[in-house]
Structure 1
Amino acid sequence: MPTHISLPNERAEQLRMIAKAKNTTIPEVIAGFVRSEIEAGTIPAEIPGIDVTSTGPAITIRARGFEAEIPADQGPTLGDLLRGAGNVTSDPERKKRWIEGLAALSGIKVKRAGNGLKLISPITGQEIPLNLDVAADLGDQIERKAAE
């Protein structure tokens, strides 16, 4: 769920100015700042509230009632899908086949939802909504676990 943060009007206007100058959105400006802090080592790369573990041949993803396990060799594919979900220039039909293929291989269903996507657990049926930039970060996290 989105969190609303109060800012002084002047800071909010500065964020709008930055977003306009970079031809992007305020959430994308903030996501860029968070990513730069991850790269600087200020905070870890793992997404708070989402636990991704690697246990031998499988990767397990747990978050707020969501639980899914995928074969470790499918981690890079899921990572690519999550990172590419925000790419509006890609072929929608190709992306649909890719999502359906991943669901057949891993059991995890991925569907677009507004300005984000939802992962649907094959174990619990629970859905976890993700903003597109958080989904991309989760893709990175899953891919790191697959490489372990």
Structure 2
Amino acid sequence: MSYILKLPAERGEQLRQIAAAKNKTVPEIIGDYIRAEIDAQTIPADLPGVEVETTPSELKIIMPGFEGAVPLSQVRILTSALRRADDEAAPEGKEHIRNLRAGIAALSGVSVKRMGGGLKLVSPITGRKYPMAFGVAADLADQIDRATE
């Protein structure tokens, strides 16, 4: 799900200028700001609407229209795939990400697929897809780490 922000044209242009000066996209600049506020403990670190639960044998991820489970023994494969999905653009990252995705899908049925400016998780239970930006995927990996500590 996308969220549309309405900004005065001047603020939108200022965001574009900041992004250009930092060689980033506007969504990356906004993501950086949100991460800074999480670090400052202004807001909680967990993603809104995302539940990560552990049982003795698996980790469950529940989001609107998405539910998937991964054996606990394979959680690190999933978190690595979530964190490194944007590395696929680099030649050395392409094969690594392909192997991670194939491994997690074979073990649990959860599929991680790269798309445009992010990735999507495909649920083996519902077959539904859950798209997310690379930064959000990395935040989900952090949330999974906290749930499995």
**TM-score, structure 1 normalization:** 0.92
3-state SS, counterpart of residue 69 of structure 2? strand
Deviation at 1:133, TM superposition (A): 1.2
5+ residue gaps, structure 2, are none
Q: Once superposed, which parts of structure 1, at least 4 consecutive aligned residues long, lie more than 3 Å away?
A: none
5+ residue gaps, structure 1, are none
Given that 1:73 and 1:146 are in contact with CA atoms closer than 8 Å, whether structure 2 keeps it comes out as no
Q: Alignment length, in residue pairs?
A: 147
1:77 maps to: 77
Which range moved further: 96-105 or 35-44?
96-105
* Structure 1 letter corresponding to 2:136: V
3-state SS, counterpart of residue 62 of structure 1? strand
1:118 maps to: 120
**TM-score, structure 2 normalization:** 0.91
Which range moved further: 89-98 or 36-45?
89-98
Q: How far apart in 2 are the matches of 1:124 and 1:68?
A: 8
Which range moved further: 85-94 or 1-10?
85-94
Given that 1:76 and 1:146 are in contact with CA atoms closer than 8 Å, whether structure 2 keeps it comes out as no
Deviation at 1:52, TM superposition (A): 0.9
3-state SS, counterpart of residue 124 of structure 2? coil
- Aligned residues: percent identity? 48
* Structure 2 letter corresponding to 1:108: V
